[in-house]
Amino acid sequence: MLHSVEAARAGAVLTVDLGAVRANYRQLAAMARARCAAVMKADAYGLGMEQVAPALAQEGCTVFFTAHLDEGIRLRPLLGPGCAIYVLHGPPPGTAGDCAAHGLVPVLNDPGQLHEWRALARALGRELQAAIQLDTGMSRMGIAPADLAALSADPGWLDGLRPVLVMSHLASADEPAHPMNAAQRERFERLRAILPGVPASLANSSGIFLGPDYHYDLLRPGAALYGINPQPGNPNPLRQAVSLHARVVQVRTAIDGDVVGYGCHHVVAGARRIATVSIGYADGWLRSLSGRGQARIGGQVVPVVGRVSMDSMGLDVTGVPDSLVQPGAEVELLGPTLTVDDVAAAAGTIGYEVLTRLGSRFHRRYR
């Protein structure tokens, strides 16, 4: 795997399987009659927006979401003019002009954003597209029901605007039995009646798996495109999109009572072979994997021992043939059987955090 010179010099290599991302997009899009968008925030969840966005456009994706305005500005030149880019946070105060100038559609989340976008439409003397987000109970982003009622009491509340999407976001879609799902859907139904005929969107990755009642006109998956399991506890129907390999820096024999790593938390019992591997928390390999993570070397799964350091960590490779654990030997950290969700479970977090933390320090390869 560590073929090229750049790869051989780097501490670790992140391989992004664009074919898997594309296959995941096709699979999700085929689940609904709705259109399927792609969420690109946080550099396509760490996989690299520059590569992922055009790959999905080739799959027929024409609607993209970023979180921040600057992400949308970076995404714009990667896509053709026929693609729509929505900025989920809306323009920060004072930036509506930038948003319009770059051909981005803001998601308007509160009365202030709505007023600013309308003022810009007036100043430009042309109609501006807008997505309207409604808060259906998550209390994160979106116009609150009371604000919506107050706004819409003014018949001109959308003057100068062309609403092209009405959306909301589910708080508990990864727990299909959670009553919040149906409650939010009902609130969405009730609130969106104020925007008749406007295309609607409710489902993130997990929301798609809640069934057709949640699909509306546009699906908004992020995580599932990148291989995170949208139905925790069930087999993952999607393909892993990343693999991560580091290398052995050094191997030693430790004897009874020796300690491994900072803080002396791992005490060796008996004679063990310990490999130091070139990845640490500065690479986004979470420090909470100390003493809990796993890796694969020479076909065997071995445990992380001791604390994860900034640039390295220890593996107990006792039992792996010496010939396979030499300096330079490849160590798999993420792959088909060491999934993003497995690593997340060991680290006490979610796959989203594992993926989005993977640093820019790696050598990256795209397949």
CA distance 180 to 158: 30
CA angle 276, 279, 280 (to 5 degrees): 105
Q: Tell whether 310 is in a known binding site.
A: yes
CA distance 12 to 362: 5
Contacts of 234 (CB under 8 A, 6+ apart): none
Helix axes 145-152, 111-124, angle to 10 degrees: 40
Instruction: Give 63 or 268: the residue with its C-beta nearer to ligand PLP.
Output: 63
Residue 41 CB, shortest distance to ligand PLP, in Å, is 6
Answer yes or no whether residue 346 interacts with ligand PLP by CB under 6 A.
no
- At residue 226, φ and ψ (nearest 5 deg) are -100, 10
Residue 92 is given by DSSP the state P
Among the residue ranges 5-13, 24-32, 219-227, 242-250, the one whose residues contact ligand PLP (CB under 6 A): 219-227
**How many chain residues interact with ligand PLP (CB under 6 A)?**
12
Answer yes or no whether residue 221 interacts with ligand PLP by CB under 6 A.
yes
Which listed residue (109, 113, 204, 309) binds ligand PLP by CB under 6 A? 204
Which listed residue (220, 266, 296, 363) binds ligand PLP by CB under 6 A? 220
Element (H, E) at 301: strand 300-305
Among the residue ranges 53-61, 144-152, 217-225, 277-285, the one whose residues contact ligand PLP (CB under 6 A): 217-225
Backbone dihedral region for residue 216 (phi beyond 0: left; psi -120 to 50: alpha; all else: beta): left
Residue 109 CB, shortest distance to ligand PLP, in Å, is 10
Instruction: Give 181 or 309: the residue with its C-beta nearer to ligand PLP.
Output: 181
Active-site residue, selected from the candidate residues 25, 41, 86, 352: 41
Q: Please say if 86 is a catalytic residue.
A: no
Answer yes or no whether residue 309 interacts with ligand PLP by CB under 6 A.
no
Residue 107 CB, shortest distance to ligand PLP, in Å, is 8
User: Which residue from 186, 193, 225 is spatially nearest to 206, judged by alpha carbons?
Assistant: 225
DSSP output for 108-142: E-SHHHHHHHHHHHHHHTS-EEEEEEB-SS-SSSS
Answer yes or no whether residue 169 interacts with ligand PLP by CB under 6 A.
yes
Residues 9-48 that bind ligand PLP (CB under 6 A): 39, 41
Q: Tokens 């990845």 appear where? A: 279
Answer yes or no whether residue 89 interacts with ligand PLP by CB under 6 A.
no
Measured from each CB, the residue nearest to ligand PLP is 222
- The encoded tokens of residue 345 equal 């479970």
Q: Tokens 């065997």 appear where? A: 300
Q: Please say if 41 is a catalytic residue.
A: yes
Question: Do the strands 313-316 and 294-297 form a parallel or antiparallel pair, or are they unpaired?
Answer: unpaired
Q: Tell whether 162 is in a known binding site.
A: no
Among the residue ranges 24-32, 178-186, 218-226, 252-260, the one whose residues contact ligand PLP (CB under 6 A): 218-226
Answer yes or no whether residue 222 interacts with ligand PLP by CB under 6 A.
yes
Instruction: Give the footprint of ligand PLP on this chain (CB under 6 A).
Output: 39, 41, 88, 169, 204-206, 220-224
Q: Provide the annotated active-site residues.
A: 41, 262
Positions at the binding site: 140, 310
